[in-house]
Amino acid sequence: MAGRAGAKRVRPVASSAVAALAGIPAGPALGAALAEIDLDQVTGFESVQVLKAEQRQANHARGRVYRATVQVLRHEGPGRDVLADWQSAELVRASDVRAALMLTRHAAKDFCSLVRDLTVRLPAVLDAVVAGLLDDARARIFVTWTADLHDRHATTLAQRLLPVAPRMTTSELVIALRKGAIELDPEWARRRYERALGQRRFEARLRTDGTADLIARNVSAGRAAIVGARIDKLAHRLHQAGYPGNLDRLRADLVMDKLGGLYEGFTDDDIFDLLMFTLTDEYTQATYGTSPSCVNAEGNEQPATPDEPDGDPAYAQPQSQTEPHAPGSTVDDEPEAGDEPEGGTAPSEDPLPAPPGPAAPASSSGRRSGELRLWVGLPTVAGTDRRPAELLGLGGSTPSLPATWPPRPAPRGGTCSPTATAPHSTSERSAPVQATGRPAEIRRSASKSGCTSPATS
């Protein structure tokens, strides 16, 4: 043990070929030296040295791509004619770069803007990339965080940080650039904020798993904090009262319901009372009548009654709003004139009818505001293939959805419900949970049902 403790640690030594890589500048010579090394024969210590050399060579190759892109942008056409104002004019040849690199329109425009900024505003950074000292991520950081600086200040800041940038992480480089920019130009932060605020926008994107994202970008930090605090406060209040679902799902559902106009005219207290009211047996009986299925305390679902094969009368095929029909009767698609019953339109049997409102305004293209259009091919409708449909303006949709869509809500515990899922479980709340009626009426109904605490099994 004493001999082992007193033994000196042997420092690993790389082979002569690997050790020589550190002194070879990035370029053809380094590429040739790397090509002679058999990666399967290097040791663990040598592999780190080879990796560093390969990264420098890759940075050099990326710099060459930047400079080749510059030549595409500065030439007017396939000949030798050069655009005189390519540095300040619109990127007229970005489409050629897009076709050559197989990029999207947005990615091609972003890449060409990066290359032009490196060439015009930060040539020292481009030289560092070609030399293999900086990678693509650090070059983009230099361009992004000096965008609102004067060219003179951007050049000064780049020259100050380039010697140490290769040994800094990207986060450390961002912090150093922000600190240096404020020192050189105290008004830089305000200009950057105002420019970003002027580009605020809203995006609705379809994800690859079939869900969607709603994003408000570049909004005021103060307004975002107020909105987030209000949603968070209501979500915590519902969660502490025992409403099903975790906080993340509650926040998402509250945002969607508020933006969708479900709680129009409701205060946060009204929303709380309404959602807690949906957990009571009184609401379940009023909405669904005789429940076709029950969920016991152990979570086992009983089969639906054979009288209603779909398992939910509330989601049965809706009847015509102008003519009542007996169950099982035949309904024409277009009723003939004079078939309207005496007394006008038959009243709806839904215990929580949606309040009438003005028709959605139509756009210039004839499409109503807030309308979603689904494009499905005729072979898919005929059942000969299973190609996914497409939501116009959002992209492709999932090939199929559950038979009962949207998912239906259910009170907690051992109460009867159409399905065995809670309102804010893995699925969203469904159509029957609607904020119909006046806020005061909802609060009175909630107070009568004693919904200050959730239903328990």
Q: In the predicted model, is pLDDT for residue 272 greater than 70? A: yes
Give the pLDDT confidence of 430-447 residue by residue, as tens digits. Answer: 434 444 444 545 544 544
Report if pTM > 0.75: no
Confidence bin at 359 (pLDDT 50/70/90): very low
pLDDT for position 279: 80
Alpha carbons 91 and 114: distance in angstroms, whole number: 12
Q: Is 103 in a helix, a strand, or coil? A: coil
145 and 125 in contact (C-beta within 8 Å)? Answer: no
Alpha carbons 144 and 124: distance in angstroms, whole number: 15
Q: What is the mean pLDDT of residues 126-153?
A: 95
447 and 273 in contact (C-beta within 8 Å)? Answer: yes
Q: What is the mean pLDDT of residues 142-167?
A: 94
Alpha carbons 297 and 7: distance in angstroms, whole number: 68
**Hey, what are 453's tokens?**
């605490």
Lowest mean pLDDT among 121-130, 180-189, 430-439: 430-439
33 and 21 in contact (C-beta within 8 Å)? Answer: yes
Residues 6+ apart with CB under 8 A from 83: 73, 74, 75, 76, 89, 92
DSSP 24-93: SPTTHHHHHHHHT--GGG--HHHHHHHHHHHHHHHHHHHHHHHHHHHHHHHBSSSSS-B-TTTTTS--TT
Please tell me which residue, 432 or 46, carries the higher pLDDT value.
46
Give the pLDDT confidence of 199-244 residue by residue, as tens digits. Answer: 999 999 999 999 999 999 999 999 999 999 999 999 999 999 888 8
pLDDT for position 140: 96
Confidence bin at 144 (pLDDT 50/70/90): very high
pLDDT for position 168: 95
**Mean pLDDT score of the chain:** 74
Give the pLDDT confidence of 392-408 residue by residue, as tens digits. Answer: 655 444 444 443 333 43
307 φ, ψ (degrees, to nearest 5): -70, -30
Q: What percentage of the chain carries pLDDT values higher than 90?
A: 43
Highest mean pLDDT among 14-18, 49-53, 305-309: 49-53
Q: Which amino acid is at 122?
A: L
Rounded to 5°, angle at Cα 17 from 14 and 23: 90
Hey, where are the domains in the chain? 15-197, 203-264
Highest mean pLDDT among 41-45, 92-96, 289-293: 41-45
286 and 351 in contact (C-beta within 8 Å)? Answer: yes
Highest mean pLDDT among 61-65, 410-414, 437-441, 452-456: 61-65
Query: What's 179's DSSP letter?
Result: H
Give the pLDDT confidence of 363-389 residue by residue, as tens digits. Answer: 444 545 556 677 788 888 888 877 777
How crowded is residue 457: how many other Cβ atoms within 10 Å of its Cβ?
12
